[in-house]
Amino acid sequence: MDTVQLKKILNPFPTEYSATSGQQQPIESIESPTTLPAESNADLQVIRANLKAYEQRDVEIEKGDTFLAKGDIDTAIACYTAAIRLDPKSIDAFYKRGTSFSLKGNIDGEMADYAYILQLDATNTATFNRRGMAFANMNAFDRAISNYSEAIRINPSFAEAYNNRALAYANQGQIEKSIVDLTQAIKVDAESTNTYFNRAVMFNNSGQFDKAITDYTETIRIDDQHEMAYMNRAEIHVSQKRFAAAVADYTQAISINPESAMAFYNRGLAYRALGNEDEALSDYSNAIRLNPSKSNKTSVQPVSFQEKL
């Protein structure tokens, strides 16, 4: 959702009707110096040179995208930089180079590219959102919130900005504001697993466990392979002594990730609470097999459902 879509460049050579034949005739056919004044012909040459540069720019951006998908971030950055040389006002190239700088931990480069984009387009919501993420990664949550808020002001239907601002509020301990933003994000996009999951965590953290269960259930409805939604819902079941329901959720988590030592261990605890000692011992054995460093029972702790963001 954070990618920038460029507007299509209008064709500078539209077709026109010939006054003599009534047939459509490309305007390119009148490029002869005997037909066009020298100044107009020079203008056409400039337009064509620019179009060629734009085509080369797009090729460099596509190359950058390909290298980025392969994990070759340095070469991707080089391609985006080449695109910028061809078109110094390419928002797409600056944006993609900025996000690539982020992957390299080059905060200065990232911030410089975002700042330049906003000089070109002060209403670019995607860039405000990404700059907010950069500030959040630096724990500068007030500045992150300011950027998310600007994105939301420009586009009140920007679900991702609401979600990200909610996380910034949560990191400041402002749980109620976080829940308000997540609720608004869900109104905009009712099928977002991340937003339901994040709101469930907030409900968990504020002791609203029934609401948390509802949101974890919604997360699972949208994505039935969401391991952490099963794990966290199971923890609430354990806290409310619904051990059979906890076993069912841990079992689902294990089916998604059979290498989860914590899921085996926590299911073992739930089995033990139900009096199923054989099943509990089997799960403890699997937990130790998967994570031998935690073989000392006293050092193994179940996942806290008070998950931090």
Domains annotated on the chain, with CATH:
192-309 (1.25.40.10)
Q: CA-to-CA distance for 51 and 61, rounded, in angstroms?
A: 15
Q: CA-to-CA distance for 240 and 243, rounded, in angstroms?
A: 8
Do the beta carbons of residue 220 and residue 210 sit within 8 Å?
no
pLDDT of amino acid 44 = 64
Provide the phi-psi class of 275: left if phi over 0, else alpha when psi is between -120 and 50, else beta.
left
Do the beta carbons of residue 28 and residue 12 sit within 8 Å?
no
| CA neighbor of 100 nearest in space, from 123, 127, 129, 77 | 77
Q: Per-residue pLDDT for 222 more than 90?
A: yes
Grade residue 107 by pLDDT with cuts at 50, 70 and 90: very high
Per-residue pLDDT tens digits for 57-70: 999 999 999 999 99
- The more confidently predicted of residues 26 and 42 is 42
pTM score of the predicted model: 0.77
Q: CA-to-CA distance for 200 and 51, rounded, in angstroms?
A: 50
Per-residue pLDDT tens digits for 61-95: 999 999 999 999 999 999 999 999 999 999 999 99
pLDDT of amino acid 7 = 34
Per-residue pLDDT tens digits for 262-285: 999 999 999 999 999 999 999 999
